Structure 1
């Protein structure tokens, strides 16, 4: 367990030193949309290591049960990507290696146990999108694996072929969507899609000074009913030079972690988040 702590801490500290993309700092979406040619050149440079999804450390408790040591915990996520190609592939795409790790840490219980660790490596291609000389987002295709690294009856795992996209609307709105072809191979989670879902859609609004961000993500569970896992987020950055923000996250639904994916949760947590310079993937 101490080894896990050191690895997570080292990666988290490393990520705090990367407030840029390929040497270019982006303060606001307006700056991202100015020079498509320079952005294309940046994509073509040497392999680049950086942030993929949000990297955060948050603490909170349950809203649908009386707060206790069991349902009050720390949730943190480390997410990185590595571009594997020095130049464009056919179709103007790039090959990436992805890795995301999400941890649920019951810091109020004796011995501070980490209740569940979810590992999500993947490989895929991404295509940046330009319109009238402006960078507006990207499409991606990935092959992903997700598991909690346990054995016996606590083992959870599945694979998916996923298709996703992020599109910037004007300067303040981002919309994103992702759907997947699942391959559920875990013996103890055959009904995983009923809880983890079959596709997701979301949006994010940013203020003009890029200090406030408001996000909403809906994950559709597998049936014909209008049921969703809902994630709402608020981020506040103290200054435009800061590379981290105050973070509030609300989770309502199933499948927040793999071990207890059948358990309904209504959780509110707060902490800090480090976001990718342009926009986060989901």
Structure 2
């Protein structure tokens, strides 16, 4: 049986846009009984440093998330309750996510989202990078259907990301400093391939160890709310000449002001020995990766109503300015789903494509957003 055809799958993003134009009724405020029930069930799993007032606020956020098409805007919250719900409106955007994480930090039955979790049934590349697969195919006398399909890459494919983190140790330094184990899976699926196999052409794995600190100091009107230090490994899990991997020491500092949030993430690549021959498993698979992937990443997001507009920038600080840019827009479509539109241009869309200049447009749904 052949794989799905493009026109049929296009119904998925079209349906997303259809639902995006219909606003659901504004959520009702939770009753005292609902808040008390939530408090009783959450007091044993919440962060030890949370106060009763913070627990109540978290329970309210959880109720609104479960009974609305999206979390209400600041204006909707003011109309519904007669007064703003945030004592510090500058901390409104990230406060929602950080509060929900604190509410369930000690609950071992809940996986905490890390980066975005999404599925894009349509990810279209204007110039697919076939070079790595051509090199592999020419080195074999007989090629499988999967290898032939990868040589003949389709412009359209499916893309998804799963990202989670698990608390290892809480409050390492008095009432701050949480140690997490994080994992992110980023996959690219040639679902529209004419070959029967419809192979996954690339799956990038990113385990990391995170030490996270909350903060509240200000600079130039921006409040620094979070600082993270990470030991990061990224690999596509392949061997031979298609192997791609690198190790980094990273820092991530998050700032916010009003409806705008941004994060600066510089890194240092841990050196590896040179390869003695192509495909040497003990040598560096990609010694020039920093030249293309850059030496830092900037992520910014702006919330307008229930819409989130975001930008990602990477650069190598060299004269040729290699790096990447991504523009995105997400919007609510149901209680726990958001639509997503993304445009990517540059290097490093995936590890196998780290040195290929790509232009990618994608449509899909987001399961967990930035906040």
Match for residue 203 of structure 1? Answer: 300
Partner of 2:292: helix, strand, or coil? helix
Q: RMSD between aligned alpha carbons?
A: 3.2
Bigger proportion of residues as strand? 1
The counterpart of 1:232, out of the listed 316, 327, 330, is 327
1:248 aligns with 2:322: no
Alpha-carbon distance in structure 2 between the residues aligned to 1:255 and 1:187: 17
Distance 1:43 1:136, change over 3 A: farther
1:50 to 112, 125, 136: 112
Q: Is the 8 A contact 1:47 1:86 kept in 2?
A: no
Gaps of 5+ in 1: 1-19
Q: Does 1:267 align with 2:267?
A: no
Instruction: Give the aligned partner of residue 188 of structure 1.
Output: 285
Q: Which runs of 5+ in 2 are unaligned?
A: 1-41, 47-54, 63-70, 75-84, 129-151, 273-282
Q: Which of 218, 227, 230 is the matching residue for 1:139?
A: 227
- The answer to which structure has the higher helix fraction is 2
**CA–CA separation in structure 2 for the residues paired with 1:41 and 1:47:** 10
- 2:237 maps to 149
* Stretch deviating more after TM superposition (219-228 or 145-154): 219-228
Q: CA deviation at 1:70?
A: 2.1
CA contact (8 A) 2:126 2:155 kept: no
Residue 220 of structure 1 is aligned with which of 315, 335, 349? 315
Correspondent of 2:256 among 145, 165, 168: 168
Pairwise CA distance, 1:167 = 1.5
Give the deviation of 1:156 after TM superposition.
0.8
Structure 2 residue 173 is matched with structure 1 residue 89: yes
User: Where does residue 123 of structure 2 map in the other structure?
Assistant: 60
Match of 1:123 in 2: 209
Q: Confirm or deny: 8 A CA contact 2:327 2:342 kept in the other structure.
A: yes
* Comparing 214-223 and 27-36, the one that deviates more: 27-36
- CA deviation profile, 1:215-234 (whole Å, cap 9, x unmatched): 01101135233443001110
